[in-house]
Amino acid sequence: MAGFFPTAEAATAFAFGLERKFAGLKLKQQQIDGFAMPYLDGGRGEALVLLHGFGGDKDNFTRMAGRLTKRYRVVIPDLPGFGDAARDASAHYRMSDQVARVHAFCRALKIGRMILGGNSMGGFIAAQYAATYPGEVAALWLFAPAGVADAQESPIMIRYRETGEMPLVMRSPGDARALIEAVMARPPYIPGFAIKTFGRRGAADQALHARILKELLEQSPLLETQFASLPIPTLIVWGAEDKVLNPKAAATFQKLFPASKSILMPGIGHVPMMEAPFRTARDFLAWMSRAE
């Protein structure tokens, strides 16, 4: 495909456009607190808002969303500092800052009570949002969420503490493949032009993302230090082969959210919605049917 387009970025935009169309999603944009936040929006019914992880973007959920738009209004934003959202080197990106921005985003879209989901950093944001605005969250859907101490006892986080090396923060475009291998146990096919685009964007964000990671780890209190439990129905999904965050932390999340169910997915890494999108969607729909 790249041969038909002047740049890898153009080929990637075309490919993502097709994926979004098949999923029933449209690209829109909302301005929040000085940040332009592009987002995907599609489907009808109860609002389902999905938040990507550190270094990710809205299209991490696109393929899975195609199985959900027939039943839900699916809304997937790029969080400030990531994806195609605005960057501001002078702003803060602590958990409290991002939660406030997501809240303002949902209010601007007139989303009231919703199902809120998130992967990794996005899972931390979703859980923190639920603790801050419990009346607005009907259910939580957490994919390998950050936010508790146990989650940080993983190979990648231990290495980061010991050496400062972090594959989620790319120093050069060539680091994109190493990041994919770090977050996925069995990566699906990803076109070379998409990997090149992802690598260029990540390398350009190296300084900002290194600072955001430090803020998240040093200036964002862990969930277990903030509340004992919340009675919000919660589905916790974790890949058994996750090297970024320790799957054993699912037990801690079950204590924080006692009305929860945990699914451990064999052969899956840190991003279940990308590695097994249809199975992940199917498990969610089955869980929601029983919960309702």
Name the band, by pLDDT with cuts 50, 70 and 90, for residue 290.
Answer: confident
pLDDT at 17 over 50: yes
Q: Give the residue numbers annotated as catalytic, written as ranges.
A: 52, 120
pTM of the model: 0.96
Query: Of 115, 141, 137, nearest to 238 (Cα)?
Result: 141
Domain of 177 in residue numbering reads as 2-291
Name the band, by pLDDT with cuts 50, 70 and 90, for residue 122.
Answer: very high
* Secondary element (H or E) of residue 163: helix 155-163
pLDDT by residue (tens digit) across 240-275? 999 999 999 999 999 999 999 999 999 999 999 999
CATH number at residue 141: 3.40.50.1820
Q: Is 243 helix (H, G, I), strand (E, B) or coil?
A: coil
* Secondary element (H or E) of residue 203: helix 192-204
Q: Which residues contact 125 (CB under 8 A, 6 or more apart)?
A: 51, 79, 95, 98, 99, 102, 118
Mean pLDDT of all residues belonging to the chain: 96
pLDDT at 100 over 60: yes
Mean pLDDT on 153-173 = 97
For residue 204, what are its two tokens? 């350009």
What whole-number distance in Å separates Cα of residue 237 and Cα of residue 281?
11
What whole-number distance in Å separates Cα of residue 196 and Cα of residue 256?
40
pLDDT at 281 over 90: yes
Residue 39's pLDDT is 98
Q: Which residues contact 90 (CB under 8 A, 6 or more apart)?
A: none
Domain count, the chain: 1
Mean pLDDT on 53-65 = 97
